Each structure stands twice: as structure tokens, then as C-alpha cells.
Amino acid sequence: MPISLALRGRHAGDDRATEAWANALDVLRDADRIFSTYRPDSYVSRLNRGELAVADCPPEVAEVLALGEQARVETGGAFDVRRNGVLDPSGVVKGWAVERAAHAFDRLPGTDYCLSAGGDLTCRSGPHSIGWRIGIEDPHAPEKVVAMVPIRNGAIATSGLHRRGDHITDARTGTTPALLASVTVVHQSLTQADIDATAAFALGADGLEWMRSRTGLVVLADGTRQVFGDSTRSTTSATIPRGMGRWATKCR
């Protein structure tokens, strides 16, 4: 998947930034080594073949599975990292791994960053910096954006089918929900933003209710949009203004 980095400030482009980038990629490669369902030597592949127990794996495996189990319970089984006995934690791992990788840039003083992987982003800005402006892609016209989201310190994740086909299913039925075209969630944590966006999409029609306690934007299959905001998330320095949703509708 495509991975990109934007830096600005004191260490943008210097040797410390190069070292941080290398460290971030090492974290992502390590996550691939542990969790990839495409590598026969990964711990997840070996778990699926019955060669290992979770206790035999690095502690990160138990951490990711616990996050997946929490989402399964909260969604009534719509989100599940196990399908017909096969373990696939991809719905948790991407955001989780990118969030861990981004810590490499936290060690660059006076430097803002925005790290993106497969369209999910985690951003940091200093107290005297302007925030980042993140465009949400229109699933019906990917060359356009449906909204611009200001983020100072936080994360944003989008789940949909227009880039990768029918890869998200409701684990209760095994079918791909047809009501939603994309779900975007803003959160302090990219791990949680990614899980929430995927869970909302898997829930289909029930995903709209799921989003009422979250901050984000849902684009429905018929092209209409719904903006959701949670004023209680005071630690998340990102919002999708109500007016932005109206603006996006006009720009389509």
C-alpha cells in the first residue's frame, strides 16, 4: 500500500528526518512480518496453520487480537478478525501499525508531520503551527473531494470499496453492505479511527447509528452525505464542521 510522509519545521529534510523515516519503515516492515496474511512465514499465517498458539507469538499479536475482540463485541459480530476459523486482523493492523510507526517523528523537536498509509493519516502540529488540511476523497468521483478536514493533532481514516473492491463484509452475513459508499472517522488515535471506520461500514445501515457517538462523515451509495460530530471528544484536535458537509455537497 502507498505510504507517504509530509514534514515541516526544524528537521524537515535533514539527517534526523531521514533516520526517523527509516525507523518508521522498520516498524511497518516488522508489522508485516508478524501479521501479513500473504506471507507464509508470518505469525498470523502460522497461527492459521495451527503451528503456534497466541502465547507463542510476540505480545503485539495478543494486543491486536484484543482490539479486534472488543470491536466484535461492540458491533454485535459485524466486525470480526476471525472468519470461518481463519484469522485475518487486517482491519485492525493497518491503523495500529501506522500509529506506532509515527512515534519515530515525535522525536523530531520543532517538526510537524503527517504520515499517510493507504489513505489513513495521523498528524501532529506544534503549538505555534497551523493545522493540516486533509481532503476526503469522493467515492463516486475519486478525483474530487467531498470535504476538507482541519486536523492539528489527531488521525483520520476512511473505509470504502471504490479503491479495493468488495473487501469489507459484515461478518454476521458474509456479505458486503450496499448502503454506504465510504465512512470517514476522525479520532485522536489512528488505531481507533481505522477500527471505527471499518466497523461502521461493516454494520451497513446500523453504521449510521454507530457513527452518532463519533466524529466523521458518511457518504451513502446514493451520493448523499451525513456529517457526525461528538463535542465530548475534547482531546481530539480535529472536527468536521457542519458547514463543510454542505460545502462538499455543492462541490460535487
| pLDDT, tens digit, 9 for 90 and up, residues 47-91 | 999 999 999 999 999 999 999 999 999 999 999 999 888 999 999
Q: What tens digit of pLDDT does each residue of 129-181 get?
A: 989 999 999 998 888 999 999 999 999 999 987 565 556 888 998 888 888 99
- Predicted TM-score of the model (pTM): 0.88
Burial of 78 (0-12, 13-18, 19+ CB in 10 A): buried
Q: Where are the alpha helices (DSSP H) in 107-151?
A: none
Total domains present in the chain: 1
What residue has cell string 535533514?
14
| Distance between CA atoms of residues 104 and 80, nearest Å | 30
pLDDT for position 242: 42
Taking residue 59's Cβ as centre, other Cβ atoms within 10 Å add up to 9
CA–CA distance, 150 with 123 (Å, rounded to integer): 10
Average pLDDT score, the chain = 88
Question: Domain range holding 188?
Answer: 3-251
* Contacts by residues 224-230 (CB-CB < 8 Å, ≥ 24 positions apart): 225/146, 225/249
- CATH number of residue 109's parent domain: 3.10.520.10
pLDDT band at 245 (very low <50, low <70, confident <90, very high): very low
